[in-house]
């Protein structure tokens, strides 16, 4: 299959082409404000099956349905979820996915057999134009091969999906660079995956909000994942990733020592650094992630940096930070990419 890439400079034209492919039951990769999505007609089980094949995704890992308008969410749920209106009014369109009991029109392939469905309205004009032109909710996970870092540019999508899908819409780099916050409203409101809509922001609306234990730790034996995606290896480049969590200077000293040990063994280390720690690495090879003062900058660079360094380094030594605000989303992705190989200072 030939994979075409078209720019979304004219969102209507891109949407028309993409929607025709979606309605024919095929796949289209498209930009969102979080990461690139790999879309199929979300009401067509056979079309959704193709997503799992193209990604090599385990079929017990459910997908998010994307809608163009808030009202379109309600027919996907069995009844109106508690708190949904207030959350949608505050955060939609935007990087917040809401989970609640599914309605009968949602195919089993989308929910991987669960009785709940995840729904989101993306804050990206090209994405919403595509969904509106398709006239159906669009099921879309991140447009990477399963297990790899999520794509934040159309080039990343092409690296993973060339020859596997007919069309990629190129809307340039994604604003946030990490996937949406996933919040379950079935039972006590619980964050299953952290994102740019933070626990603090949700607590301002909901009062209490719980965090799934698997956000910062691997599942223990026998434990059931609240979100099936949490149990799989995730965001992993080919290089080994090691994380050191601490203040800038001590973290930099420890990472420098690790760097020197790996270099002495003939390995090719590179340090994923914050601006605050950069002066402490001397002449060692570094790549700048962003600043600790604004973890959103670290989030937006992380996946792109893991892909870029993959060709140049076989060990990526990364600074970890605190989990306040978007620090939680950053640490959730970073620890998974490291397979939880982490030192806390
Ligand atoms: P991705 O599409 O790659 O961003 O992955 C979607 C994430 O949402 C995965 O971690 C899924 O496991 C999770 N998810 C989707 N639907 C549900 C659901 N009904 N219940 C729990 N988690 C879900
Ligand atoms: Mg994904």
Relative to the CA of 228, which ligand 1 atom is closest? 12
Ligand nearest to the CA of 192: 1
Atom 23 in ligand 1: which residue has the minimum CA distance?
227
pLDDT in tens, 46-79: 999 999 999 999 989 999 999 999 999 999 999 9
Give the residue-averaged pLDDT of 207-215.
93
Atom 1 in ligand 1: which residue has the minimum CA distance?
141
pLDDT, residue 141, reads 97
pLDDT above 70: residue 245: yes
pLDDT band at 230 (very low <50, low <70, confident <90, very high): low
d(CA 11, CA 19): 12
pLDDT band at 237 (very low <50, low <70, confident <90, very high): confident
pLDDT band at 234 (very low <50, low <70, confident <90, very high): confident
- H or E element in which residue 264 lies: helix 248-264
Ligand 2: centre distance to CA 144 (Å):
7
pLDDT above 70: residue 171: yes
Atom 5 in ligand 1: which residue has the minimum CA distance?
141
Q: What are the residue ranges spanned by the domains of the chain?
A: 4-215, 240-344
CB count in 10 Å sphere of residue 108: 13
pLDDT in tens, 22-45: 999 999 999 999 999 999 999 999
pLDDT, residue 221, reads 61
Nearest to 307 by CA among 95, 157, 140: 157
Percent of the chain at pLDDT > 70 equals 96
The SS3 call for residue 286 is: strand
Relative to the CA of 63, which ligand 1 atom is closest? 15
Q: How large is the angle between the packed helices 199-206 and 84-91, nearest 10 degrees? A: 130
d(CA 4, CA 265): 43
pLDDT, residue 344, reads 96
Where are any strands of DSSP class E within the chain? 4-7, 28-30, 37-41, 64-66, 96-101, 116-120, 138-139, 167-170, 181-184, 190-193, 210-211, 240-245, 269-274, 286-290, 315-320, 342-344
Residue 61 CA, distance from chain mean position: 14
pLDDT above 70: residue 110: yes
Atom 21 in ligand 1: which residue has the minimum CA distance?
227
pLDDT, residue 103, reads 98
pLDDT above 90: residue 227: no
d(CA 201, CA 330): 16
Percent of the chain at pLDDT > 90 equals 90
Residues constituting the chain? 345
pLDDT above 90: residue 224: no
Give the residue-averaged pLDDT of 134-155.
96
Atom 9 in ligand 1: which residue has the minimum CA distance?
229
240-344 folds as Rossmann fold (3.40.50)
Ligand 1: centre distance to CA 35 (Å):
14
Ligand nearest to the CA of 231: 1
Give the residue-averaged pLDDT of 174-199.
97
pLDDT, the chain, mean: 95
pLDDT, residue 260, reads 98
pLDDT, residue 59, reads 87
Atom 20 in ligand 1: which residue has the minimum CA distance?
227
pLDDT above 90: residue 232: no
Ligand 1: centre distance to CA 22 (Å):
21
CB count in 10 Å sphere of residue 24: 10
Relative to the CA of 141, which ligand 1 atom is closest? 2
Ligand 2: centre distance to CA 114 (Å):
18
Ligand 2: centre distance to CA 11 (Å):
24
pLDDT, residue 223, reads 64
Q: Which range (105-109, 144-148, 243-247, 260-264) has the least confidence?
A: 144-148
- Ligand 1, residues at Cβ distance < 6 Å: 61-64, 99, 111, 114, 116-118, 141-142, 179, 182, 192-193, 227-229
Pocket test for ligand 1, best of 48, 139, 193 (most atoms within 8 A of CB): 193
DSSP 328: H
d(CA 283, CA 166): 45
Relative to the CA of 116, which ligand 1 atom is closest? 19
4-215 folds as DHBP synthase (3.90.870)
């Amino acid at each position: 299959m030939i994979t075409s890439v078209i720019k979304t400079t004219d969102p209507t034209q891109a949407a028309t082409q993409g929607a025709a492919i979606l309605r024919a039951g095929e796949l289209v990769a498209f930009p969102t404000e979080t990461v690139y999505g790999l879309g199929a007609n979300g009401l067509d089980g056979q079309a959704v099956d193709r997503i799992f094949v193209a990604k090599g995704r385990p079929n017990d890992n459910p997908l998010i349905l994307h809608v163009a308008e808030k009202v379109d969410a309600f027919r996907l749920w069995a009844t109106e979820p508690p708190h949904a209106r207030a959350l949608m009014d505050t955060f939609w369109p935007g990087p917040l996915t809401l989970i609640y009991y599914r309605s009968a029109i949602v195919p089993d392939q989308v929910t991987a057999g669960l009785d709940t469905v995840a729904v989101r309205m993306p804050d990206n004009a090209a994405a919403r134009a595509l969904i509106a032109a398709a006239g159906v909710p669009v099921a879309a996970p991140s447009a990477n091969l399963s297990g790899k870092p999520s794509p934040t540019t159309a080039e990343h999508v092409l690296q993973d999906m060339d020859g596997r899908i007919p069309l990629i819409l190129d809307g340039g780099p994604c604003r946030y660079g990490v996937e949406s916050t996933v919040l379950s409203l079935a039972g006590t409101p619980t964050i299953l995956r952290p994102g740019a809509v933070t626990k603090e922001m949700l607590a301002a609306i909901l009062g209490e909000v719980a965090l799934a234990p698997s956000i910062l730790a691997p599942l223990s034996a026998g434990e059931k994942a609240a979100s099936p995606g949490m149990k799989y290896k995730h965001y992993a480049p080919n290089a080994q990733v090691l994380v050191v969590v601490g203040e800038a200077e001590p973290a930099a000293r420890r990472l420098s020592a690790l760097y020197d040990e790996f270099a002495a063994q003939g390995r090719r280390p590179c340090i994923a650094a914050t601006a605050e720690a950069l002066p402490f690495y001397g002449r060692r090879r570094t790549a700048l992630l962003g600043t600790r003062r604004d973890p959103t900058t670290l989030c937006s660079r992380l996946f792109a940096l893991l892909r870029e360094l993959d060709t140049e380094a076989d060990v990526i030594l990364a600074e970890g930070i605190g989990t306040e605000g978007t620090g939680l989303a950053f640490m959730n992705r970073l620890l998974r990419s490291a397979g939880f190989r982490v030192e806390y200072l």
